[in-house]
Amino acid sequence: MNTSVTSAAMPRACDSDPACRSVPGWVFLLGAAIFVVTTAEFIVAGLMPTLAAAFSVTVPETGFLIALFALGMTLGGPIVTALLLALGVPNRPALLWLLGLFLAASTLAALATDYPVLALARTLQGVASAGCFGVAITLCAAHVRPEIRGRAVSVVLAGLMIAPVMGVPGAALISQAFGWRASFWGIVALAALALAAIGVGVPRTERQAGASLAANLGALRSGRLWAAYATSGLIIGATFAAFSYVTAIMTEVGGFSPSAIPLLLAGYGVANVVGNLVVGRLADRYTIPVLGGGLAILATALATFAAFAGNPVISTAAFLAVGLVGVSLNPAMVARVMRAAEPSPLVNSFHTSVITGGLAFGTWAGGAAIDLGLGLTAPLWVGAGLAVLGLLSLAPRRARLT
């Protein structure tokens, strides 16, 4: 039996206590853990030529290491989460077990001497990562007041936003100075630190009856939940249809020099962080308006980017706007899912899988459009179309939760 404490079980005296309306300090530890697993997910992107040479494979084969991580998240995350629920492991110990699996897989990756071993390690990292996302968000939601869930979740997801800005570039710098294994061992060290910090810093709570595996599976039959999942997948798909090809678009269409790309990506990362903080503040009270407004801006920004990709000023402004309202809508996406179904590890793990699937689909669709001969701006139009579909997914009243 899962034994998380729901917010409904918190004492009524908390209503008059300002401390209960603020985000607990230990939630930042969950954000740190998400930072580590997200850095591990994208670390290969900054090390592709180095890893290709080290393992005597092609760059596309190195790229498969990212896909294997995503596959582990999409398929393995819900399975391992369901297994922990079936075994009756409470949320806090479940997170520690998942971080332990991630630590072991990261160690295997750092020790790998051939490509198949590294591929296996990346897949296991993805499985553990998806579980960590689902359980961390569940822990957060279970121990804060309902009216600040979105804000608290935005703190957890800040790790997701900061990783591309600090973690991935930092890993690339370490690799350049000390070799790729040093970067991988850095992930191991950070994972061990996160495991220890959460073990000490996240409070043990009273054991109370929580949702069983059967209840978790029952929640997945909700039409409103799958409507929320669909919107999330379309938001991330729209964003990554564009983001996955932005370097080629900016250099070959926009005329930017390769040396300008890191600055553009850093600006995009800062926009992600700012957008996440703003959305986190608004997500609890204005979930659907935030999602609707964000999707409208996202569709407009992507269409503008596509139409004016050759104009450096307009394309930069549009790209930064995508950063503000793309991945940054995560807190509102999570808030909507938590309104559609009681927050639980399996519900949140499936949400992570859907988001990862949206990322993969958007990237594939953008590439397919290029392969059809539609030009390098085609992924931007694909992204704009997916954003419009996301907006339409909010239209049915039964999907709006209002």
pLDDT confidence tier of residue 98, bands split at 50, 70 and 90: very high
Q: How far is residue 15 CA from its own chain's centroid?
A: 32
C-beta separation of 129 from 41 below 8 A: yes
pLDDT of residue 6: 33
Q: What average pLDDT does this structure show over 20-29?
A: 76
Domains in the chain, CATH or no CATH each? 7-210 (1.20.1250.20), 219-400 (1.20.1250.20)
pLDDT of residue 152: 79
Question: Residue holding tokens 């600090």?
Answer: 166
Q: What whole-number distance in Å separates Cα of residue 392 and Cα of residue 402?
A: 16
Q: What is the pTM of this model?
A: 0.72
pLDDT confidence tier of residue 87, bands split at 50, 70 and 90: confident
The backbone region for 88, taken as left when phi is positive above 0, alpha when psi lies in -120 to 50, beta otherwise, is: left
Tokens at 281, concatenated? 């503040």
Q: What average pLDDT does this structure show over 148-166?
A: 76
Closest alpha carbon to 357 in 224, 272, 245, 236:
236
pLDDT of residue 191: 95
pLDDT of residue 307: 93
Torsion angle defined by CA atoms of residues 77, 65, 226 and 278, in that order, rounded to the nearest 10 degrees? 100
pLDDT confidence tier of residue 373, bands split at 50, 70 and 90: confident
**pLDDT tens digits, one per residue of 299-341:** 999 999 999 999 999 999 999 999 899 888 988 888 888 777 7
pLDDT higher than 80, residue 8: no
Tokens at 50, concatenated? 């180095």
